[in-house]
Amino acid sequence: MTDLPDPIQYAIPFFIVLIIAELIYARQTGKAKFEPRDSGASLAMGLGNTVAGIVFAAVGATWLAFLVPFALFDFGWAWYVWIACFVLDDFVYYWSHRFAHTVRWFWADHVTHHSSQHYNLTTALRQPWFNIFTLKFIWFGAWMILLGFQPAMVAFCGALNLIYQFWIHTEVIKQLPDPIEAVMNTPSHHRVHHATNPVYLDRNYAGVFIIWDRMFGTFQPELSEEPCRYGIVRNLGTYNPLRIAVHEWWGIVKDVKSAKSFKHKLAYIFAAPGWSPDGSRLTTKAIKQQAGVDKPVRTLQDTSQDIAPAE
């Protein structure tokens, strides 16, 4: 199997330099917020993610190596194949990310990344530890290999995708020129993704290209009249990385244990986050309906009712 360098490994020093630069800029201008314990939790989550990657690496590698002989085609290494691979990998990322928000089993893993009420470059590194349990590498990691892309190429493009997403986790950059905002995922678009305001919830799943959200109806622009409030619907009051990593998994275990039927057990695992048999908890859909923002809006005046939470 062809080997390529892992660009993420080369990017680590630049991640650190950029975090330091943002820290200094935040201190001097007040345009970004850092809190040591929050930053520490995020960075510790990133370290744990790396450790988990090393520990569980062989599992994913074995699976993909197993798939290679079943590939429909062999697209080779031509330059245009690289471009196609990068774009298609981003398309896969969009759907993987969308499922990570809409299926609790995947959300239990991904919630980690959203669990900070801060939004700075350290938040980008707040990554889950138990990704392997979701088995996402089986569902989403396979089809490009089966189509005929080289595993090394897919891995390289996936790494570039993740590197791209690092710098968009910032409040320092407000808006980029319109053509860029139209095509690319930007800090503005991704702030929306991390916000819990009803109008922003579960929007902008893009990795690199925001066009997927525009195509599939999940794009929501950042509204000047609605500042982003970051975090999750039920925010965490802990900086303990282990608690951050396991809290939603533990929530699933408790809910499944208390469920009164097998159907409810399955729904607690695979329905949307916030699902409950009696509707006592709120899913994103219910929250948006209550707030009158079911569909993406260009301005808050587009909504039929006030954006303020229901009385």
Partner 1 sequence: MAPLIGLFLASLVIQAAITDKLAGPDPGHGLRQQGKGGGLASALFHVKNPVMTSLIIILVSALAIAALIGLNAWMGGWTPSRVESLEAAVTRLRQDLLSFEPADGVMAKDQRAAIILEKNTGRIGLVVAQGDILVTRLITPSEISKAEIDDTVLALRFRDFTFPDTKFAFDDAEAAAKWLERLTGDIEIHDRPS
DSSP reduced 3-state for 184 = strand
- Judged by CB under 8 A, which stretch of 134-142, 203-211, 214-222, 264-272 contacts partner 1? 134-142
- Tell me how far, at minimum, the Cβ of 138 lies from partner 1, in Å: 10
Among 98, 104, 114, 117, indicate the residue that binds partner 1 (CB under 8 A): 117
Q: Does 305 bind partner 1 (CB under 8 A)?
A: no
Q: Does 287 bind partner 1 (CB under 8 A)?
A: yes
What is the C-alpha separation between 121 and 123, in angstroms, rounded? 5
Task: Provide the CA 234 distance to its chain's centre, in angstroms.
Answer: 17
- What is the C-alpha separation between 83 and 157, in angstroms, rounded? 9
- Cβ atoms within 10 A of the Cβ of 219, count? 18
Asked if 35 interacts with partner 1 (CB under 8 A), we say: yes
Matching residue, tokens 């790396």: 50
Listed in sequence order, the residues at least 6 apart from 259 whose beta carbon sits closer than 8 Å to its beta carbon are 265, 268, 277
Residue 137: CB minimum distance to partner 1, A: 5
Residue with tokens 């929501």: 220
| Interface of this chain with partner 1, residues 247 to 286, rule: CB under 8 A | 247, 250, 282
Q: How far apart are CA 128 and CA 49, in angstroms?
A: 6
Is the Cβ of residue 234 or residue 265 nearer to partner 1 in the bound state? 234
Site for partner 1 in 56-85 (CB under 8 A): 56-65
What phi, psi does 96 have (nearest 5°)? -60, -45
CB 161 within 8 A of CB 208: yes
Contact call for residue 291 and partner 1 (CB under 8 A): yes
Residue 37 interacting with partner 1 (CB under 8 A): yes
Site for partner 1 contains 53 (CB under 8 A)? yes
Nearer to partner 1 by Cβ, of 62 and 299: the residue is 62
Pick the piece of the chain touching partner 1 (CB under 8 A) from 183-191, 203-211, 270-278, 287-295: 287-295
87 is a contact residue toward partner 1 (CB under 8 A): no
Print the binding letters for residues 202-241 with partner 1: x by CB under 8 A, - otherwise: ---------------------------x---xxxxxxx--
Q: Of the ranges 24-32, 98-106, 220-228, 259-267, which one interacts with partner 1 (CB under 8 A)?
A: 24-32
Stretch binding partner 1 (CB under 8 A), from 25-33, 163-171, 173-181, 262-270: 25-33
* CB of 263 vs partner 1, minimal distance in Å: 26
Which listed residue (128, 141, 274, 296) binds partner 1 by CB under 8 A?
A: 141
Residue number with CB closer to partner 1 (140 or 212): 140
33-41 contacts, C-beta under 8 A, 24 or more apart: 33/118, 33/119, 33/120, 33/171, 34/118, 34/120, 34/122, 35/118, 37/239, 38/116, 38/117, 38/118, 38/122, 38/239, 39/118, 39/120, 39/122, 40/239, 41/116, 41/126, 41/239, 41/240, 41/241, 41/244
For residue 6 the two structure tokens come to: 């892992």
Minimum distance, C-beta of residue 88 to partner 1, in the bound complex (Å): 13
Nearer to partner 1, 132 or 176 (CB): 132
Is there binding between residue 47 and partner 1 (CB under 8 A)? Answer: yes
| CB 177 within 8 Å of CB 99 | no
3-class secondary-structure state, position 232: coil
Query: What mask of x and - would describe binding to partner 1 in positions 158 to 197, judged by CB under 8 A?
Result: xx--------------------------------------
